[in-house]
Structure 1
Amino acid sequence: MLSWVRFPLMSALTFVILVSSGNAQSSGSRPPSDSQRTTRPEQEKQDWNYDLQPGVDPDNRLLTPFLDHLSQDQKHFWTVPAHLRKRDLEWILPLAGGAAGIIAADSWISRQVPNRPNQLNTSLKISNYSMYSLIGAGGGAFLLGKISTNDHLRETGLLSAEAAINATAVTYAFKFATQRGRPYQGTGTGTFFSGDISSSHSSFPSEHSSMAWSIAGVLAHEYPGPLTKLGAYGLATAVSAMRVNSHQHFASDVLIGAGLGWYFAHEVYRAHHDPELGGEAWGNYLEPSYEPKQRNPENMGSPYVPPDSWAYPLFDRLIALGLVKTGYLGIRPWTRMECARLVEEAEEQIRFEGIEGGEGTRIFEELAEEFSGEVSRLNGAPNLGVSLDSVYVRGTQISGTPLSDGYHFAQTITNDYGRPYSSGFNSISGFSAHAVAGPLSFSLQGEYQHAPAVPEYSPAVQQAIANADFTLPIPGGRGEVNRFDLLNSTVAVQFHNFQISAGKQSDWWSMTSAGPLLMSDNAEPLLSLKLDNVSPYHFPLLSKFLGDARSEYFLGRLDGHRFEF
């Protein structure tokens, strides 16, 4: 019990250290006028930001300068808590609570990962080779830079190594402090403070994850092209995910390890990157700003529009008319903000072509009314609101004997979220609603379902099914259904065009209304965790031939099975 009391405090401290750099200015400070002189305390606060000042040589060289940088990085990291203030509780408490929640679910998540030797071995190899690829990219950049006298490549290699060494050092410090058992040890509960101080037996946090994200962060900002970012962050994600899938770490181990790596990549890059060499600016998200904040739609949470929504056929028609060109048909659902973006695209095309009236204009007006709130947010309105989207009732009278065993025979009613039905009167009564607040979004669809009982199969049918499936005869059938059920209901957070959502979710992987690949709404929405880039990415030159790209990753549970990717 003591370990569970102590660890949320430690997790809070970990997150505090990760994200509080550069946030040491007083809450009531104002930007000084030109006539004001910077006092020593004010200068110390400015210096605490740990950023490279304009015109200063970062002195990125091996040996003494490199060691000096490492010592400065470590000093900055470990002294961060001394500069925290009361107002920092606004983000410390939610982050600490989230960390504690993930840790509480660790052992349950770990038990859902299949314990098959081949899978564990393959996952371990993927994790290791992805890690070697990132290390090779950083080391190769340094060597190539030395050979070709390319300062940008040489700096990339040095900063990657600096971030990785810092992340590794802190990771080992936490390993020795927490002494957490690995998933394959003992009962697999991941007990903290077990007394085993061996780093090879300590799970929290993940060294592979912290090192991978530290190198990936530097590479992605030194060379900020979309392919570089996709490759670097994709490899880092593979390292983290496969450490869990190989039973080497718990979910919280890799998440907090990734946070450590990202933190050191951020701090090292801001402190020692020479902007004259190129690369991308990396902002300080907690640093006070006196400029008016511009709302970024890429950071606005938005719920998904269900796959059976009336909006999709209308968007399909706009695409056919040539008024929408960037709608990604192969992966649905789309978020409401993505639908609003397509509505704006259609409006621009209608104006450009000078279209007045007609089918395209009527469709555009209907969609513009439906997504008017999201369109206003694209143009600067705050992303805050609650909406009751629909209240619906459906009654279905079925005469005769319908088919409801889609696995062995066929289905009379398809693509209906797996709702029960049978001969006689069937009904559903439900509602759908959503809410948004900044990067967060919530959606809820609940309904009461009624369906008559389904009789058992005859002995002959039972035996035929058993012969085909190589199983014992199963009676089949079910009793009368009267229940309340949740369908598409999720909680999601969005950051830089990527949305992480958890809950019961449906997907539709097809460019048409028939023949989806793998995922559809024929079955009940899957309880899953999903990572999705909600708007397609455009890759220079490549997209000209292959089109824009969109990715979606999910981890879910099929009833009666273990977790599967």
Structure 2
Amino acid sequence: MARLALPFALLLGLLPAAAPAAGPAAVACPVRAAVRDAPHLATAPGRWGAAQWTAAAAGVGAVAVAAGLDRDTAGQWPGHDRLAQVGNAWAVAAPAAAIAWYGGRGWLGRDPAALQVAANVTEAALLAVAATEVVKVAVGRERPAGDLENDRRLHPGNTAGRRNSFPSGHTALAFATAAALQEAPLPASTRAAAYGLAGLTAWSRLHDERHWLSDVVAGGLLGWATGRYVARRHPAAGRLTAVADGRRLLLAWQRRF
């Protein structure tokens, strides 16, 4: 399913990319933005300060703690199959719905703020899926799949589906969407619900024995970091911009809808 999310997000990304400029600043094509931002994101550790390194260390620690619980938490989630189906579907439904809603609203209303939210969700989804696929191949971890003794079996460079457990792509996609939406004009309860449903996606991957606990923790952290990065790099909130035409300095206010 995670492999299907990339072309799906690419297709939906055409909506905000094709929309006309609707304000003082045009919204960049999210696919091009993802290609442009990927190197900047990958080299971000070189620009980190103490706070960022502390947060990264905490994330690594969380994954390490989860890894110690992998066998204890695997195969421990019987029943609730329908709820797990909802969690699995949410990973793709969340970005699709957000892109369609904000992209359509921005295109019809010629609103750059709405288009920016759609573009941010698209870019966050693309970067999250791409990052997880790279790490999956690099690590080559075996999935639980009924064998709860294989949590330490790694096959670096292997692309087989049964050996791409770490990290969870579904979880990364769901959390990337939730993080990207934190800058959208949504009630606090709705933004919190986005994270809650992303957590449901993580649980569903454990329920189906498609991932270990450390897989979903790593996927959630990766997705959250990606979505947060995109939302902060391309804010959709109202802002004052200055444009010089050679003889005059023009000030324009781009507001959040």
TM value normalised by structure 2: 0.73
**Are residues 233 and 99 of structure 1, via their aligned partners in 2, closer, same or farther at CA, if it must alter by over 3 Å?**
closer
The CA distance in 2 between the partners of 1:101 and 1:108, in whole Å, is 12
The CA distance in 2 between the partners of 1:247 and 1:220, in whole Å, is 30
Is residue 123–residue 246 contact of structure 1 (8 Å, CA) maintained in 2? no
> Aligned pair count?
216
- Percentage identity across aligned positions? 23
Structure ranking higher in helix proportion: 2
1:75 to 36, 39, 50: 39
In the alignment, which residue of structure 2 is the partner of 1:217? 179
Q: What SS does the corresponding residue of 1:275 show, helix, strand or coil?
A: coil
Is residue 183–residue 189 contact of structure 1 (8 Å, CA) maintained in 2? yes
The CA distance in 2 between the partners of 1:89 and 1:272, in whole Å, is 23
Is residue 75–residue 206 contact of structure 2 (8 Å, CA) maintained in 1? no
The CA distance in 2 between the partners of 1:199 and 1:77, in whole Å, is 27
| Unaligned ranges ≥5, structure 1 | 1-56, 280-565
**Are residues 75 and 196 of structure 1, via their aligned partners in 2, closer, same or farther at CA, if it must alter by over 3 Å?**
closer
Structure with more contact order per residue of length (Cα contacts < 8 Å, sep ≥ 6): 2
Q: Does 1:60 align with 2:6?
A: no
1:133 to 93, 106, 123: 93
Let me know the Cα RMSD of the aligned residues. 2.7
2:155 to 194, 204, 227: 194
1:160 to 100, 117, 121: 121
1:28-56, CA deviations, whole angstroms, 9 ceiling, x for partnerless residues? xxxxxxxxxxxxxxxxxxxxxxxxxxxxx
The CA distance in 2 between the partners of 1:87 and 1:135, in whole Å, is 30
| Unaligned ranges ≥5, structure 2 | 1-23, 239-254
In the alignment, which residue of structure 2 is the partner of 1:449? none
Structure ranking higher in strand proportion: 1
The CA distance in 1 between the partners of 2:134 and 2:94, in whole Å, is 23
2:256 to 278, 300, 303: 278
Shift of 1:125: 1.2
In the alignment, which residue of structure 2 is the partner of 1:266? 228
Q: Does 1:231 align with 2:193?
A: yes
**Are residues 183 and 86 of structure 1, via their aligned partners in 2, closer, same or farther at CA, if it must alter by over 3 Å?**
same
In the alignment, which residue of structure 1 is the partner of 2:213? 251
In the alignment, which residue of structure 2 is the partner of 1:331? none
Shift of 1:248: 1.4
Q: Does 1:176 align with 2:137?
A: yes
**Are residues 142 and 200 of structure 1, via their aligned partners in 2, closer, same or farther at CA, if it must alter by over 3 Å?**
farther
Q: What SS does the corresponding residue of 2:144 show, helix, strand or coil?
A: coil
Q: Does 1:106 align with 2:67?
A: no
**Are residues 196 and 208 of structure 1, via their aligned partners in 2, closer, same or farther at CA, if it must alter by over 3 Å?**
same
1:189-246, CA deviations, whole angstroms, 9 ceiling, x for partnerless residues? 3224235722632111111111111111222321231242133222212111211122
In the alignment, which residue of structure 1 is the partner of 2:250? none
The CA distance in 2 between the partners of 1:195 and 1:89, in whole Å, is 26
**Are residues 147 and 108 of structure 1, via their aligned partners in 2, closer, same or farther at CA, if it must alter by over 3 Å?**
same
Shift of 1:265: 1.2
Summarize the alignment of residues 375-414 of structure 1 with structure 2, pairs less than 5 Å apart: none
The CA distance in 2 between the partners of 1:268 and 1:84, in whole Å, is 16
